[in-house]
Chain A
């Protein structure tokens, strides 16, 4: 099957059964992501960004529609999709190394020997610049470092798609900027396909090739899709004076704050 798209979301609806009856979280979602593309999902809180990402991750099942990743229909979670959760989700009783190793071992132990698994784990930690924290426990490192371990864990398994749910949401602005730069470098190095949920306009424009803007829930859907054609590598300082950057930024802001104004 020669599908040019790496990730396909086709006519997907997600309804939840709640005590007040059926709740339509998202509907009619159609999305095509090419290999190596960086896609951001943006929208107001509660519109269903996490819901959509969870469907792609396979943590939840769509009520209607089909999702396809790397030519295979998504029927559950799997190591072909690496997930970075909003709140790092590291296991506190394992060191950074062991947290990553758990994932590496799961995916590669069938084909590789222990030294190779260790090498992969170390490489993943090195990629996020945490070689020095290899044998620390999560409670001994900062929030930004934890999030980096989460990214290392997700990428260590060489997923077809990397899924990030507001990975930097809980971090301070400086750390966030730093990790954004780092993520851009890592994604460029690994040529990863990424879908990232965010509610930060600058983050979306800086990182993405494509910004998927969602309408407000309930029964949210994709409002607009913006192709961001800024050259890479991108530099946040240079972009600050770039007219295209401001054009894209304005488009997103306009969508969020005038077309999809949040009824406060």
Chain B
């Protein structure tokens, strides 16, 4: 296999590269006679460095093993893409797209009228809509989730409606938004709000329902006030679930904003993508796709990072 060959090659080269000046263990370091302690100390030192080297090499090997397959995958992907351009000639190759991207991202924040703005502005506009819709959804969805989780009656009351509305594509709500707000921007925010709210409600409610009875018993034997129960027990216990909901929401929101912006127009990465399609600049469409992917990935990673900080046990 060529892939494993590459890995092995890289492993040895990188391992050696990390310790270029290390003498071989058998090689005598000095010729002057040494006392027993000195020899022992030297041996100890030697063992220590050996250990450190081995550790470093292990770490490097681990890194190489985790990174290399990804790089290989990307390489294959690029090759396939390049191959595809020979068959479907209207698709630009990776090099052409890269050049175009460099040009585009060298001046991301220009403004030449409402429909011609730098890609940076477009990304920021989309992020702002997502942030607003998503923030409003959190503001409503998380308290609603707490209530639904805490009160069984409310749960029974709301569950048919939620189950019915949840599978509906958020874009189906766009006309209602346009009708009510009579403007594209709030309508797009509204769509984000709708699509983000379900995961937040459902995950928060599940979290509340899954609080271990032990924790609630602690609250009961101490007769804690509702406020203390909420701040010291409910909220921290539900937080991981809530963050899962938030993570799911942001993923969906970022998926949906692109589609919503294609329909509403204005400034935004989705609209920009559609605009470039109208202009038939295919490189830019591909750049938009990658940009959307990368921003989505960053959003999710950020939330995973936050969620990790609130993980207990």
Contacts and interface: CB of A to CB of B under 8 A. Distances in A.
A89 interface: yes
A102 B313 contact: no
Interface size bracket, B side: 10 to 19
A59 B215 contact: no
Secondary structure type dominating chain A contacts: loop
Contacts of B218: 85, 89, 91
Contacts of A139: 312-313
Interface string B190-233: 00000000000000000000000011011011111000100011
Contacts of B312: 92-93, 137, 139
Given A92-B312, A92-B313, A137-B312, A102 B223 contact: no
Contact of A89 (B214, B228, B313): B214
Interface string A63-107: 000000000000011110111010101011110000000110011
Contacts, number: 52
A212 B221 CA distance: 24
Nearest to B233: A91
Contacts of A103: 222
A59 B220 contact: yes
A83 B217 CA distance: 10
Contacts of A83: 217, 221
B47 to A, nearest CB: 31
A91 B232 contact: yes
Contact of A85 (B214, B232, B233, B237): B214
Contacts of A137: 312
Q: Which residue of B215, B221, B236, B313 has the most chain A CB atoms within 10 A of its CB atom?
A: B221
B215 A91 contact: yes
Contact of B221 (A59, A87, A91, A94): A59
Given A78-B223, A79-B223, A85-B218, 4 more contacts: A58-B221, A85-B214, A93-B237, A103-B222
16 contacts: A57-B221, A59-B217, A76-B223, A78-B223, A79-B222, A82-B221, A85-B214, A85-B218, A91-B232, A92-B312, A93-B237, A106-B222, A106-B228, A137-B312, A139-B313, A157-B222
